[in-house]
């Protein structure tokens, strides 16, 4: 079963996260994706952040980052079927 993912308060309080959210609101998706990817590399155990970073990277067209994030954080769901996958999980793949 795919886990329920959330962002920790610590992640939400990080400068990179706040910058990314500001950039998204300004329509600067590529820049926001960069900050989220940077933060997710510094917080490798935060799967909620990894999923958010994966979506942002896909929206920014950074498919190398998408592949790296999926392989690093969600490889188990690529290797075997899982219940309750996100509707767009295989679209990201």
Q: What pLDDT, on a 0 to 100 scale, did the predictor assign at position 60?
A: 95
Domains and CATH numbers, the chain: 11-92 (1.25.40)
Q: What is the pLDDT of residues 25-71, one digit of tens each?
A: 999 999 999 999 999 999 988 989 998 999 999 999 999 999 999 88
Q: What is the pLDDT of residues 58-86, one digit of tens each?
A: 999 999 999 999 888 877 766 666 666 66
Contact between residue 32 and residue 23 where contact means Cβ atoms under 8 Å apart: yes
Query: Residue 87 above 80 pLDDT?
Result: no
Select from 47, 52, 45 the least CA-distant residue to 16.
52
Cα–Cα distance measured from residue 29 to residue 57, given in angstroms and rounded to the nearest whole number: 9
Q: pTM for the full model?
A: 0.81
Q: What pLDDT, on a 0 to 100 scale, did the predictor assign at position 81?
A: 65
């Amino acid at each position: 079963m795919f886990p329920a993912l959330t962002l920790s308060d610590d992640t939400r309080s990080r400068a990179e996260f706040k910058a990314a959210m500001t950039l998204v609101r300004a329509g600067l998706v590529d820049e926001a994706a960069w900050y989220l990817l940077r933060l997710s590399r510094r917080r490798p155990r935060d799967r909620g952040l990894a999923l958010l970073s994966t979506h942002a990277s896909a929206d920014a067209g950074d498919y190398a980052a998408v592949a790296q994030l999926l392989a690093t954080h969600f490889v188990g769901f690529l290797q075997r079927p899982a219940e309750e996958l996100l509707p767009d999980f295989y679209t990201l793949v």
